[in-house]
Each structure stands twice: as C-alpha cells, then as structure tokens.
C-alpha cells in the first residue's frame, strides 16, 4: 500500500472521533500513529504509551485553552490521574492490530471523556494549585533572603566571639549551610511546580 494513502487513511480514522466538546461532555483522544514490530505485546505497549502521551498533550492544550495555564509534565500527569478518579470520567485505549509482511502494525487511540459538570471544578482546582505554587514561590524567595541574612549575621557574631581565630571554618560552614538551604528550598519548589 502506498505510504501516503495509508497516512491519509490514518488521518481519516481520526475524523469520526469528534475530538472536543460532545453532548456527553468533553472527549479528548490521543493517537499513537503506526507502531511496527515483531512481538505484538511489545508493539501494543509502545503504541499505548505513545497514545497516552499524545492524550496528555491534548489535555495540556485543553487546559491552556480554558485557563491559560501551562502545566509541567509532572503536574499534567497528576491532574490526569486525579481526573480518572472522578465519577463519570472514563479513560482507556482502543487498538487496531494488523499483520503485514514486515511485522505487526498496531495503532492505538487513548480516549478520555470528561463530563461537563467535572470541568469547572477541575479547572478551579488547577488554578488554585497554580496560585498556591505562586504563594510558595514568594515564601521561598523571602526565606532565601532571610536565610542569607541570618547566615551572614551568624558569621559576624561567631567571628567576633572567637576573636577571628576560627574565621575560615566559620565562613565555610555558614556558606555551606546557606547554599545548601537555598538549593534544597528552590529544588523542592521547582520540582513541585504547577
């Protein structure tokens, strides 16, 4: 079969899926494309993983359109699993498997249906989590400034208490604690970015 024709057929398969708002809620679909291999179970896993990643991309686009927020991959996965736990939300893959001369061809569609009553609550949750993260950003920024001022004050006080005889160890320990605290706080904050 002509590769261009098979690509056109693959795109035509997506048209009846009706990606977007439906009468039963919002329907998002991720498509894997054609995955080829020798062992069906491995090709099926690859197609499902690719389709689920495409669904997460669709979910990110859905959030961006409705709340103007861009989530990290970690936050997006967290929201995806939260959505799946909600009543009425369904998610799951569909497969099309063909055996060809060159191997097994698997196409996967991962579909997520979100009822309309869940969407406003969920988008409010996403915006609240983002606002909470911004609040924590200001707290960590202020804590960083205070931490460095305390470290500098401790250096001065300890240096005066020892009459300058232990200046190098005091400076090194205070700097190490200040740097370590700063890196740990910002690392934690950025790891949990929304």
Domain ranges in the chain? Answer: 3-116, 132-191
Segment 124-139 shows an average pLDDT of 92
Q: Determine the Cα–Cα distance for residues 9 and 147; give it in Å rounded to an integer.
A: 61
Using alpha carbons only, what angle is made at residue 98 by residues 41 and 94, rounded to the nearest 5 degrees? 65
- For residue 114, how many other CB atoms are within 10 A of its CB? 23
pLDDT at 25: 66
Whether 191 has a pLDDT exceeding 80, the answer reads yes
pLDDT at 14: 42
Min mean pLDDT across 9-13, 30-34, 47-51, 130-134 is at 9-13
Q: Where are the alpha helices (DSSP H) in 22-165?
A: 40-67, 73-84, 118-161
Is the distance from CB of 112 to CB of 28 less than 8 angstroms?
yes
CA pseudo-torsion sign 65, 52, 111, 54 = positive
Quick: pLDDT tens for 24-69: 568 888 888 888 888 888 888 888 889 989 999 999 999 998 888 8
Quick: pLDDT tens for 161-174: 999 888 999 999 99
Quick: pLDDT tens for 85-125: 988 888 888 888 888 888 888 889 889 998 988 899 999 99
pLDDT at 169: 93
pLDDT at 98: 86
Is the distance from CB of 165 to CB of 159 less than 8 angstroms?
no
**Contacts with 73 (C-beta within 8 Å, 6 or more apart), sequence order:** 56
Is the distance from CB of 145 to CB of 130 less than 8 angstroms?
no
Segment 61-80 shows an average pLDDT of 88
């Amino acid at each position: 079969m002509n590769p261009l024709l098979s690509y056109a057929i693959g795109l035509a398969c997506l048209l009846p899926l009706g990606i977007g708002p439906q009468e039963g809620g919002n329907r998002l679909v991720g498509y894997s494309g054609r995955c080829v291999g020798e062992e069906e179970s491995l090709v099926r896993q690859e197609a499902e993983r690719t389709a689920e990643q495409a669904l997460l991309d669709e979910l990110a686009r859905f959030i961006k359109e409705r709340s103007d927020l861009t989530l990290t991959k970690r936050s997006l996965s967290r929201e995806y699993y939260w959505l799946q736990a909600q009543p009425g939300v369904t998610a799951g893959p569909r497969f099309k498997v063909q055996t060809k001369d060159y191997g097994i061809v698997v196409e996967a569609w991962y579909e997520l249906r979100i009822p309309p009553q869940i969407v406003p609550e969920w988008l409010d949750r996403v915006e609240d989590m983002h606002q909470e993260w911004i609040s924590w950003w200001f707290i960590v920024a202020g804590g960083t400034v205070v931490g460095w001022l305390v470290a500098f004050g401790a250096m001065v006080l300890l240096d005066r208490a020892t009459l300058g005889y232990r200046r190098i160890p005091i400076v090194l320990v205070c700097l190490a604690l200040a740097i370590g605290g700063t890196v740990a706080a910002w690392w934690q904050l950025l790891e949990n970015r929304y």
